[in-house]
Structure 1
């Protein structure tokens, strides 16, 4: 596939506590690299709307997808009130189970809130599939149409993960319907560092001024917060 066919790039932030995505067209990037669109309308119950949604997956008793994020949280809470939740599969904050796993077996399992086990690959695949499909619906609502081959997907992962964990995420993403040729795995701190460089140069109105050889800066991830400190 030719890179010239890529018209839209989307980054999926699969977080430990919260997840979301952001996207940009190639045309917008060429004009302004910081022009990025994100879904800011995740229904957050009584609090209104949020830029991200909790990394929570809910499957029905037949192990079929039911909901993700705030919606999954609300449905499960209602089931718990009626004491009908025990047969459902409710997974939350499961991302970091991949950290430290030297060998990840095909049949690796995760435990849900009530101790029921399910294949880890299915849990990650269903979650990524939801985020991918949500993104596609968001783009369609904007009145834009893209072929699958025109979309580049970027899935961010922690830098501390080993190659086995990164490959696990790639496999799950491909099972979620993302073609391997259109998928890139990016390290979270590197992605943040590149963005902060663009942000810095925008403020200084001096292109790449902050990215000169020898410039030192530090990016701190506080979980949902991003702080950039430049040490000149």
Structure 2
């Protein structure tokens, strides 16, 4: 690599419920529409119900030696089978653990995270191994394209919630470093800011006068709100269009732990109340595969709830 040239840019979205990545070769970059030729793997789409997703569940399965076994849908399915056979106690299974960074006070390198059976490992180990799984997944795809980039040819971008403090952001930098991502080639991007940038290239009917117009055609002074509803957190910020295509933050991001997992928790509580807590707990323990299928089916239903449905039910 010479100067600041990178052959490829890779963005990792490490989510509470789902994670994934996208990449683009810098030679394919189009300044008029940077969204062209952004590639994202489809092989994450797995599971018995073939849940349509550009991402995979954020869950990590380690063997008894704490080595990586699998990540995502494969980890979910294998752990459920281990539970059915009663062989899960020697394994480490971490599920929806990102919110630990939001909930923990005084986060340190020595902070521990408990897996589904109560066994603890350093949080840095869990996060770094998860990032490594996505990194390795990307490298296999590039190898299939007969391209093996050098470390200094890749620009890495890791998205984080805007409401996270500097300690949590520093933690993610360290985890990425442990996963094999060179710190000098890594940039942390705030999730609502990334969303705001991509919005500039989306068609917006309000500004259209006989043709497809994008939000980038909005006049300077236009303000808009970005509501990033993730699995764990909700980030809300307001930006303003200024001259020369630039953006200004009108109000700093705010939010809290009000993401999709709070909806999941309410659903699980509802089912538990209907069938009874002890019976539902027994179902989760003895029928992991059926419980997993139920959660995936509920996820599909959540994604199909449109704005019209929400408005009608809120009246």
Q: TM-score, normalised by structure 1?
A: 0.89
Moved over 6 A (4+): none
Using the TM superposition, give the Cα deviation of residue 136 of structure 1 relative to its aligned residue in structure 2, in angstroms. Answer: 1.5
Residue of structure 2 equivalent to 1:204: 213
Query: What are the superposed Cα offsets for residues 9-32 of structure 1, whole Å, 9 maximum, x if unpaired?
Result: 010000000000011122222353
Using the TM superposition, give the Cα deviation of residue 129 of structure 1 relative to its aligned residue in structure 2, in angstroms. Answer: 0.5
Decide whether the 8 Å contact of 1:34 with 1:199 is kept in 2.
Answer: no
Distance 1:65 1:78 in 2: 17
Distance 1:90 1:116 in 2: 9
Secondary structure at the residue paired with 1:63?
coil
Query: What are the superposed Cα offsets for residues 144-196 of structure 1, whole Å, 9 maximum, x if unpaired?
Result: 34222111000000011100000000000001000011100110110011011
* Equivalent of 2:43 in 41, 56, 78: 41
Alignment of 1:77-92 (within 5 A): 77-92=80-95
Query: What are the superposed Cα offsets for residues 104-134 of structure 1, whole Å, 9 maximum, x if unpaired?
Result: 2221000111111110000000000111111
Using the TM superposition, give the Cα deviation of residue 51 of structure 1 relative to its aligned residue in structure 2, in angstroms. Answer: 1.4
Shift of the 86–205 alpha-carbon distance from structure 1 to 2, 3 Å rule, reads closer
* Equivalent of 2:72 in 69, 76, 90: 69
Residue of structure 2 equivalent to 1:113: 116
Shift of the 216–171 alpha-carbon distance from structure 1 to 2, 3 Å rule, reads same
Structure 1, gaps ≥5 residues long: 225-229
Count of residue correspondences: 226
Q: TM-score, normalised by structure 2?
A: 0.66
- Compute the RMSD of aligned alpha carbons: 2.5
Structure 2, gaps ≥5 residues long: 205-210, 232-238, 242-315
Larger relative CO (CA 8 A, sep 6+): 1 or 2?
Answer: 1
Query: What are the superposed Cα offsets for residues 59-113 of structure 1, whole Å, 9 maximum, x if unpaired?
Result: 1111111110001011101100100101211101000111154522221000111
